[in-house]
Chain A
Amino acid sequence: MKLHELTLCQAREKLRRKEISAVELCRAILARLEEVEPRVQAFLSVDPDRALRRAAEIDSEEVAWKDGRPLAGIPLAIKDVICTRGWRTTCGSKILYNFVPPYDATATRKLLEAGAVLVGKTNMDEFAMGSSTENSAYQITRNPWDLDRVPGGSSGGSGAAVAAHQALGALGTDTGGSIRQPAAFCGVVGLKPTYGRVSRYGLVAFASSLDQIGPIGKDVRDTALLLEAIAGFDPQDSTSVNRPVPRYSQWLEGDVRGMKVGFAREFFVEGLDPEVRAAVERALRLLEGMGCEVLELSLPHTPYAIAAYYIVAPAEASSNLARYDGVKYGYRAPEGATLSDMYSLTRSQGFGPEVKRRIMIGTYALSAGYYDAYYLKALKVRTLIKQDYLDAFQRVDFIASPTAPTPPFKIGEKTEDPLAMYLCDVYTVPINLAGLPSISVPCAFTPEGLPIGLQLTGRYFEEERLLRIAYAFEQAANLQRPPLKV
C-alpha cells in the first residue's frame, strides 16, 4: 500500500513504530497532491516548504508520540475559511484575495498543538455559500469519483482532497450541510458537531447561529480522532459550550444492539433519487441486521426547514458580510471617489453572484416592515423544527436519512437555478437549525461508481454514541469501492 493511501490512524501507527518519518509521510502526501491536483483542483494554496519544515520539526521532537501530540506528523488540509496565521485565507472570495490572518483559529491552533502538519488550504463555495463548490471565485473542484461531477459543497475542496488522498484528513465547516454533503458526494466521512462543541474563533463567519467546524476523514476512526483534537470550550467564542470532551476514538468499539434508529416519513421527498432511496433502505436493513431497532416516525416541520434556513442564514450573512468594505483588509475598488462609492464598488466587484444574492435576501428579510414576517417567523419555525427532534429523541437514539437526495450531480447542472441548488440541502439544514450533531458515512456506490452517503443524527453532545453507531455501520457495510477517476 502506498503511503498516501493509508488512513490517518494507519499512518499514525507507522510513525509511532518509527517505520516511517513525518518527513517521508509529508513528501509522499505532497507528491500525491501535486500529481492529481491538476485534475481535482481541491486546493487554493499549498505550502510544501512550510509543511516539510514542520514535519522535520515533529521528527526532531522526542515527546511527539506521547499523548499530548495525538496527530504528530499527520498531513492535513484546512478549508480556506478557517484562519491560519501568516497563511492566506480567502474564503473562496475575490474580496479576500490577499488576506493573511494575523492569528490562528482555535481549531487550527489545536491541530498544530496536536502535532499536525498542514499541507494546504482547500477550495470552497465563496464564504461557504453553496452546495457544489462551483461558487468559488477561483476554480472548479472536481469529484475524484467522476471528474465531470461536483464534489459537493461548500467544503468540496476538503472532501475531494481526502477522497483523492491529497491529505490524510481535513477540516470543513457546516452551516447547512457543508461538511456532510461533500463527504457523501466524495465517499468519505464528515461530521458536523453539536453547535457549540467546537470553537468558531477564527472561522470567518457566514451564519453565526448555524456555523460549526468539523472533521472530514477517510473513515469513522480518523474522523473521531480529528474531532477529539478540535473539540472543547473556548473563552474566545461566547457560543462555545463548557463541557468535557470525551475521548471519541476510545468509544468506537462496542455494542449497538438494541439502539433505536428513527426514519421520518417526511424524508421521502419529491426529488429523492430512486438509487439513493434504495441505498438508504438497504442501510436501514443492515442496521436492523446489526441488532438496531428501526422505527418510522414523523418530523412534521421538515418540509419548512429549507425556507426557514434560507431566511435565517442569509439574514445573518448580510450582517456578517457588512464588514467587507475595502477599508481594513482585502480588495478595494480603485475608482471610488467618495467613501460611499468606494464601499459599494468594492462590494459589487469583490463578491460573486451567489453571495450578493444571499446578502440581498438577508437584507430584505431584516429590513423595516419585513423583519417580523420573515426573520422572526423563521426563528419561530426553527423552534418548531428543534422541538420535532427533541420529541423524536424521546423515542429513538438516532435518526437516519440520506445525506443528499441525489448522487453527485454534473458540473453546471444546477448553477442556473439557485432554488434547485437550495433544495439539495433538504436533509442537512434541519439539523443545523436544531444544532444537533450529525455524521455522513458512505453507504453505497451507484452502478456508475458514484458514492451515496447515509446521514445519522444524534442527541446534543452525544458525538461519541454517533461515532460508535457510524463505526459499527461502516464495519458491517464493508463497502467495496470502485477505483478513483483521478
Chain B
Amino acid sequence: MKISCQDVEKIARLANLRFEEQEIEAFRAQFEKILSYMETLNELPSEGIPPTSHPVLPSRNESNAFREDDPKSSLPQDEVLANAPRPGKGHFRVPKVIEKE
C-alpha cells in the first residue's frame, strides 16, 4: 500500500491532529511500513468467519448488557466542572462556534 503525504494530511484532519511538514514525511514512511505489515492478513481467507468483539461472551457480539433502569444520583456539578480548563456559569466554556454576520 502506497501512502502519500496527502493521505496523511487527510487522516490527520479526520483525527483532529496537526503535523509539521517534516513530521508528515517521516510519518508517511512509518505509516507505509506499518500498513504493509498489516497486509499480511490478506493471506488469510476470511469469508464466512464471524468477527469477534467480546472474546469471552460470544452473545455480546450481537447484544447489549442491560441492567434495571433504576435512577441513581450522579456526580455534583461542581465536581464535574472541577477538571474543566475553562468552566463558567455551570458550563464548559469553548471558543465561539457561530460567527455573527
Contacts and interface: CB of A to CB of B under 8 A. Distances in A.
A343 B13 CA distance: 11
Interface string B61-98: 00011010000000100011011111000001011110
* Size range of the chain B interface in the assembly: 35 or more
A348 B49 contact: no
A329 B15 contact: no
Interface of A is mostly: helix
Contacts, number: 158
A219 B61 CA distance: 36
A217 interface: no
B56 A195 contact: yes
Contacts of B53: 209, 379
A381 B43 CA distance: 11
A60 interface: no
A359 B84 contact: no
Contact of A356 (B17, B33, B41, B49): B17
Contacts of A102: 75, 79-80, 82-83
Interface string A322-335: 10011111111000
Contact-residue bracket for chain A:
35 or more
B38 A386 contact: no
A339 B31 contact: no
A409 interface: no
A376 B51 contact: yes
Nearest to A85: B79
Contacts of B18: 344-345, 348
Interface in A336-381: 336-345, 347-348, 351, 356-357, 359-361, 363-364, 367, 374, 376-381
Contacts of A386: 52, 55
Interface of A: 98-100, 102-103, 194-196, 209, 235, 238-239, 241, 301, 303-304, 306-308, 310-311, 318, 322, 325-332, 336-345, 347-348, 351, 356-357, 359-361, 363-364, 367, 374, 376-384, 386, 418-419, 422, 433-435, 460
The 8 closest A-B pairs by CB, nearest first: A435-B55, A379-B51, A329-B83, A332-B85, A238-B65, A380-B46, A102-B79, A363-B15
